[in-house]
């Protein structure tokens, strides 16, 4: 049953601390459900995680029991049911309630009447929201208060709400065409697609199971957001150059740069985990790329033998990931305000190392997939103040989901004099 699978996955996430994408992947792989039921289970999991604060607010407003006092199974059954009542129009309300009550009878029979009462009360009353602006935004779009405060400060209330809404929307599926093997025209002839503003990129109109198609397996394309593609284009690696990708796994930007270099030159790709290094090499093999040399290395640690050795350096640094909430909604519950502050030290270390590895006249691209000035503009500005031998090379870009139809993505190209 899809709801039982969804419950099992949600318990892995909430009780065992599993990442949502891995928990869903592993849960689906172990299941014998048909594709339609797997799709429902996936929607239930991601929808419940994405709308968690809104859901809990509704439960708390009609329940005599604190949510924390409920057993994990009852809590997640209730959450799934509220998600269905509010966000899944194709499921009738009575069906969502009946399924939740029946599930509760299987997992905690004594709580069945409680679950029924809570859901019926929510149906009768409708969905509530707080009165104040900041609290309303936090509940309506299910984000922590610190994130509302952060984005209101950076963008103002109106822009913040647009950004919050876009961060809960379903993103388009963008693919990057591999010119070493195919073209946009060939891919569009095989599947329904529409053009993007980039030459070798398409939006797939029917995105289901694109990674299982022959054209994917044969290396015609890669799944990659337009924002990430724009970062590699901004660095502009050329055929024959030596390039360093400091935080490369799983290899999306690494392989894109190799395609831009026409598989001529050399790319050194680093990651700190051996299994992620293998992901880079696996992607390169699928795409027919031979110029990538991948190995384990901590991008924060300088290696004097590499100082001044590279024409271009990609510093796609670890970040809070606030730009990819529409793909990984559990990030907003895993990150804390303290995490955001601690990341800038790591980001600065990596950028410092990048500055030493690039040759005179070469370029470094600093980039993140977050929407946080402290991790983006502030890091770059502080670096430029302490490195007079570097200067901005073009304007820095902050891509936003509601404005650019991309993930939230920041990049700044810096030139070494």
Active site residues: 369
361 backbone φψ class: left, alpha, beta (φ>0; ψ -120 to 50): left
Separation of alpha carbons 59 and 82, rounded Å = 8
The two tokens of residue 241 are 């150059």
Separation of alpha carbons 63 and 119, rounded Å = 10
What are the start-end ranges of the E strands in 196-353? 201-204, 221-223, 242-245, 266-271, 292-296, 310-316
Give ∠ CA 412-242-285 in degrees, rounded to 5.
Answer: 100
Strands 173-177 and 221-223, sheet pairing: antiparallel
* CB proximity list for 277: less than 8 A, separation 6 or greater: 249, 269, 271, 294, 295, 296
Q: How far is CA 365 from CA 230, 253, 272, 383, 409, in A?
A: 11, 12, 20, 13, 13
Strands 292-296 and 409-416, sheet pairing: unpaired
Separation of alpha carbons 113 and 91, rounded Å = 21
The two tokens of residue 225 are 């957001």
Is 365 in contact with 411 (CB distance < 8 Å)? yes
Q: 10 Å Cβ neighbour count for 192?
A: 11
The two tokens of residue 173 are 């599926």
Buried b (16+ CB within 10 A) or exposed e, 300-320: beeeeebeebbbbbbbbbbbb
Please return the burial class of 195, using the count of CB atoms within 10 Å of its CB with bins 0-12, 13-18 and 19+.
Answer: exposed
Nearest to 326 by CA among 179, 197, 166: 166
Coil vs helix vs strand at 32: coil
φ/ψ (deg, to 5) at 180: -70, -20
Q: How far is CA 281 from CA 195, 248, 252, 269, 359, in A?
A: 29, 11, 11, 10, 26
């Amino acid at each position: 049953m899809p709801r039982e699978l969804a419950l099992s996955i949600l318990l892995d996430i909430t009780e065992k601390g599993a990442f949502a994408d891995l928990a869903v992947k592993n849960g689906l792989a172990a299941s014998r459900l048909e594709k339609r039921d797997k799709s429902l289970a996936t929607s239930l999991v991601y929808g419940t995680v994405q709308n968690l604060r809104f859901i809990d607010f509704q439960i708390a407003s009609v329940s005599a029991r604190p949510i924390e006092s409920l057993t994990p199974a009852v809590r997640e059954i209730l959450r799934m049911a509220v998600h269905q009542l509010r966000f899944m129009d194709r499921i009738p309300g009575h069906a969502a309630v009946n399924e939740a009550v029946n599930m509760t009878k299987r997992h905690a029979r004594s709580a069945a009447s409680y679950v029924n009462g809570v859901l019926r009360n929510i149906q009768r009353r409708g969905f509530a929201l707080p009165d104040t602006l900041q609290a309303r935004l936090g509940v309506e779009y299910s984000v922590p208060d610190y994130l509302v405060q952060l984005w209101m400060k950076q963008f103002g209330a109106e822009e913040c709400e647009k950004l919050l809404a876009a961060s809960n929307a379903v993103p388009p599926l963008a693919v990057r065409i591999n010119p070493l093997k195919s073209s946009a025209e060939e891919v569009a002839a095989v599947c329904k697609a529409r053009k993007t503003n980039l030459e070798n990129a398409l939006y797939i109109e029917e995105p289901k199971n694109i990674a299982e198609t022959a054209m994917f397996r044969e290396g015609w394309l890669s799944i990659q957001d337009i924002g990430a593609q724009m970062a590699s284009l901004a660095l502009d690696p050329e055929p024959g150059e030596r390039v360093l990708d400091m935080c490369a796994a799983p290899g999306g930007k690494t392989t894109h740069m190799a395609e831009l270099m026409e598989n001529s030159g050399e790319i050194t790709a680093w990651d700190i985990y051996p299994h992620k290094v293998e992901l880079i090499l696996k992607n390169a093999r699928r795409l027919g790329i031979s110029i990538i040399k991948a190995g384990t290395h901590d991008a924060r640690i300088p290696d004097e033998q590499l100082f001044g050795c590279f024409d271009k350096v990609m510093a796609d640094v670890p970040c809070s990931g606030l730009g990819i909430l529409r793909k990984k909604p559990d990030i907003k519950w895993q990150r804390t305000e303290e995490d955001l502050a601690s990341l800038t030290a790591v980001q600065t270390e990596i950028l410092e190392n990048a500055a030493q590895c690039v040759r005179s006249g070469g370029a470094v691209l600093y980039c993140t997939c977050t929407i946080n000035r402290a991790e983006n503009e502030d890091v770059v500005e502080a670096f430029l103040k302490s490195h007079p031998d570097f200067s901005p090379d073009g304007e820095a870009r902050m891509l936003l989901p509601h404005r650019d139809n991309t993930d939230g993505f920041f990049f700044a190209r810096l030139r070494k004099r």
